[in-house]
Structure 1
Amino acid sequence: MTRWQDVANRLRTAIANGEYRPGSKIPTEDELEDQHGVSRTTIRRAVAQLTTEGLLQPVRKGGTYVQQHPARERLILDTNVWRDELGYYFSSVTQPLRPLQPPTVAEGPCPPDLVALLGLQAGASVVIRDRVMGDPDTGRAVQLATSYLPADLAAGTVLAEADTGPGGIYDRMEAADLGWGRLEWAGAISARAATPEETRLLGLAPGVPVLCVTRTTTATEGPAAGRVVEVNVTRRDASRFEVGYPIDRR
């Protein structure tokens, strides 16, 4: 074990034991150097490791604090699709959310991890629709939602416009606009490291990952029949949210 790992372990144990409580400030670098008999470089590497783990949060010119971990809000795993006056929604938890700014629409290469889901070749072009969703009263961003649509189906259509009209892209797909028939959806849940932009928009603490829900949309009729016509990826603060589900006795 290297010196910085040893210091990181000691600090981690002190946090777990309550010696350094959530929200409290840990000793300065000078004090930690004296306590552990190591160099400042070693201290900084140990602190950086615990920051990555989400245990510490450095504050510019304010020292380093123990990260607070409030109780997570639960997202109930819902296998139904619902509808209200605005169109389809996929959970009662997300129904109250509203766009906090106009959506951005662009065209670019398909992300490598979504190529297989969309049945595309590497480098294929997709229409990318980005939305920042949140509480309309507080203006706080809660969820980032990005839709990826094959450019050979979506480019030049209403799906590539910022305003797709009542019911959004799904109503356009199912209605006469595109005539792709009754849509079918499937979802998956995962987690990954947050990008710098996700960290900024969601106000994430250092080291906090994002909880991802990836939903595929499949057309049943017309020229797109049987194709995945959209992959939607939503991201939330994994330190604030968890996925819950009922357990039935059989």
Structure 2
Amino acid sequence: MTGATQRVADALRDAIEAGTYPPGGALPSSEDLAKAHGVAKVTAQKAVNQLAAEGYLTVVRRQPARVAEGPRRLSVVRDRKVYRDQIGYYFDQNAKPWGAIGTPTRGVATPPAHIADLLGTPRGRDVMTRTRLMAPKGSKVAHQVAISYIPVPVVAEVPAVGSSNTGPGGIYDRFEEHYGGPLEWRETVSARQSTSEEQTQLQIPANSSVLVVTREARIASGRTAVVVEVNETTMSAARFAVSYPIERDSSAGWSSTGGPRD
């Protein structure tokens, strides 16, 4: 694929994902796309064919290309395991090569009530936030919004987690170094209507639904366990699905003789 074809394909993909061309809607003709993007008609057609191959478009001869009614969904694989590479811990193998769009931000904000409850923080009290917009390499549109909520007393106890540069391994390594033990995590997956801010961040239409993965990080402090962070990752429900393997319990064992064990 030439650079011009890739540029047009990327622009059309971003527009489809942002809702500019809704499911079932027709794209402009190849001639109009060529004029809009300053390329040859054949280049525009190649970009359309590329998106059809990716599952974004349906192409019928002598008819305008249309956005597929059921756009391809990307899977967020949650398999009850945490992984680690040279950068640090990660939880979604599909998103391992992703990176931040723009500079991650830090701030102080009042968390949603359910986040405050998980943190053990009184509702209405501010906590520290760290926000990242994440996407595959080369994408200009965020696919996920990840916000870490950290209680102010925890930041005071572990100042490095409040720094702009938290060092190798990020905040999780700083927690484990400070408390001298391993973190444990628990996730909850839910769905809800997107906020106006999320619609802007993810470039999704108004009234869109989002998938939300809420992960609490807990670590032992003396004889008690402390929730040191809650991370909430939000993504378009129209573009993502949560996938995970089913593990066999010991009661569901299978024997080599070809049937269930007694």
Report the TM-score, using the length of structure 2 for normalisation. 0.66
The alpha-carbon distance between structure 1 residues 152 and 95, as it changes in their structure 2 partners (threshold 3 A), is same
Q: Distance in 1 between matches of 2:115 and 2:160?
A: 22
2:127 is aligned to 126
- Partner AA of 2:179 in structure 1: G
* Equivalent residue number for residue 164 of structure 1: 166
The letter of the residue matching 2:88 is: G
How do 1:182-193 residues align onto structure 2 when only pairs under 5 Å count? 182-193=182-193
Map 1:18-97 onto structure 2 (within 5 A): 22-24=24-26, 68-97=69-98
* Aligned residue number for residue 113 of structure 1: 114
RMSD: 2.4
Aligned mates of 1:103, 1:197 — CA distance in 2: 16
Deviations 1:114-166 (A, max 9, x none): 12111121222211111111122233311110000111111481111121111
In structure 1, distance between residues paired with 2:190 and 2:164: 28
Distance 1:101 1:173 in 2: 25
Q: Give the C-alpha shift of residue 67 in structure 1.
A: 8.6
Aligned residue in 2 for 1:232 = 231
Across the two proteins, how many residue pairs are aligned to each other?
A: 188
Checking the alignment, whether the CA contact within 8 Å between 1:100 and 1:136 is kept in structure 2 is no
CA displacement at 1:69 relative to structure 2: 3.4
Q: CA deviation at 1:24?
A: 4.5
Q: State the one-letter code of the partner of 2:186.
A: A
Where in structure 2 are there 5+ consecutive unaligned residues? 1-22, 28-65, 253-262
* Alignment check: 8 A CA contact 1:128 1:147 kept: yes
Equivalent residue number for residue 214 of structure 2: 214
| Kept after mapping to 1: 8 A contact 2:145/2:233 | yes
In 2, distance between residues paired with 1:180 and 1:218? 13
> 1:201 aligns to what SS in structure 2?
helix
Amino acid across the alignment from 1:98: G
Aligned AA (1:72): R
The answer to whether the 8 Å contact 1:182/1:221 transfers is: no
Call closer, same or farther: CA 1:248–1:112 in 2, change over 3 Å: closer
Provide Cα deviations, 1:31-62, integer angstroms capped at 9, x if missing partner: xxxxxxxxxxxxxxxxxxxxxxxxxxxxxxxx
Q: Distance in 1 between matches of 2:247 and 2:173?
A: 34
Give the unaligned 5+ runs of structure 1.
Answer: 1-20, 26-64
Residue of structure 2 in register with 1:242 after alignment: 241
Q: Distance in 2 between matches of 1:163 and 1:101?
A: 15
**Whole-angstrom distance in 1 between the partners of 2:146 and 2:247:** 31
Question: For the Cα contact (< 8 Å) 2:83–2:91, is it kept in 1?
Answer: yes
